Amino acid sequence: MQLNWGDDDERFRAELAAFLDEHAPAEAAAGFDFQGEAGGDGGIVPWLRDWQATLFDHGWMIPGYPPELGGRDCTPAQTLIYLEELARRRIPRASHFPGYAIVAPSLLEYGNEEQRRLVPAAIRGDTIWCIGMSEPNAGSDLAALRTRAERRDDVFVVNGQKVWTSYAMVASKCFCYVRTDPDAAKHRGISLLIVDMDTPGIEVRPLTHITGQADFAEVFFTDVEVPVGNLVGPLNGGWALTQGSLAHERAGLWVDGVARLDQTVRALVDLAKRTGKDTDPGVRRAIAAMDEQASSLRSLGYKGFASFAQGSSAPEHSYMKMASSEAGKASYELGMELLGAYGAVTDAELGEEAGRWVTNFYVSFANTIAGGSSEIQRNIIAQRVLGLPRGV
């Protein structure tokens, strides 16, 4: 699918391209590829943090927002152009997403006046946030969370545990979902608190994953006192906030996923030629099928983005998230197969591309979980898109 853009949109694209040509960091020239690329502290890459501030200061961090929030009041179509241009050039906005992608839109929609003052620093990257959603027994099933918050005078006392919490080691604040009414139904009785990570009673334990990096952690809360004024939205109304937070996260996530799949397909073509396997009918069919899937996903993404931009729900994004992450896993595995015995080698002197394929393959498993697991997305698609009954 090819979209036709108006004159204003093309001027917007040209202005963006000129800015990126002049200001994009040299570190981005090689193409930011590995998720959680090495460097930085707790998943925070220093040059990307500076880049995030540069984007904000020039009105390019979230173009649809007003200038005081790092934008330029652009249209939804121009936001799509922006996302696609960054993805095409493989230039990320930041190495940590919770502040600008989840916290900021949630506080703008549900926060009080004092809480909304936290938004500019969250978007610019001056404040690093983590999101306290997943728990040992409530990962993808967020409604089953058990971390509780009891009201005592002018504070909530929080006890419980979160897990797979990205950036918890370096975050100064946590968007923490807690159960404030243990007697209510699963989807009710949940509230959202802003928790300062230096509050007494918080213990953070980094988790090292298969690549050897540690950019997420377990977080333990023991009698942690949180001011009542840190409640976001209504008491026991947190479930609606969780859905809004995840919707904001996924609204533009598909663009990066499809662009990465597109780039990976092109890289597979080059790899097949270098390894002499470009004439193998099986290899050609596999790469062609991935190319077809990337094109189909882009078209579906446009449809979902149009719905989201008009204020409607976009169930397509649940499918996009699932399909792009699963396709990514398959594409990196194919790259390893094309490399043969050296496919699992990360030593730059022995393996090709400094272990690009195996590193991305390892991380691809996490991508099928982060932001809502593939299993949960299949349930959402079955019930909300296909209208299938809920299993007993």
Amino acid present at 242: T
Token look-up 């209504």 returns: 234
Of the candidates 118, 138, 132, 140, the residue with the CA atom closest to the CA atom of residue 224:
132
Cβ atoms 130, 167 nearer than 8 A: yes
Q: What is the rounded radius of gyration, in angstroms, for the C-alpha atoms of the chain?
A: 21
Of residues 84, 135, 218, 249, which has the active-site annotation? 249
249 is catalytic: yes
Return the ∠ at Cα 124 (arms to 119 and 125), rounded to 5°: 100
Of the candidates 259, 256, 257, 278, the residue with the CA atom closest to the CA atom of residue 334:
278
Whole-number Å distance between alpha carbons of 97 and 263: 22
Whole-number Å distance between alpha carbons of 324 and 331: 10
Whole-number Å distance between alpha carbons of 241 and 238: 5
Give the helix ranges, DSSP H, for the chain: 7-23, 46-57, 76-89, 98, 104-110, 113-116, 119-124, 238-274, 281-309, 316-339, 356-367, 374-380
**Euclidean distance between the first and the last CA atom of the chain, given in angstroms as a whole number:** 40
Q: What are phi and psi of 232, to 5 degrees?
A: -100, 125
User: Tokens at residue 265, please?
Assistant: 């397909």
User: Tokens at residue 152, please?
Assistant: 């005592």
Provide the 3-class DSSP secondary structure of residue 262. helix
Whole-number Å distance between alpha carbons of 26 and 353: 19
Whole-number Å distance between alpha carbons of 143 and 166: 20
Cβ atoms 83, 252 nearer than 8 A: yes
Tell me the catalytic residues: 249
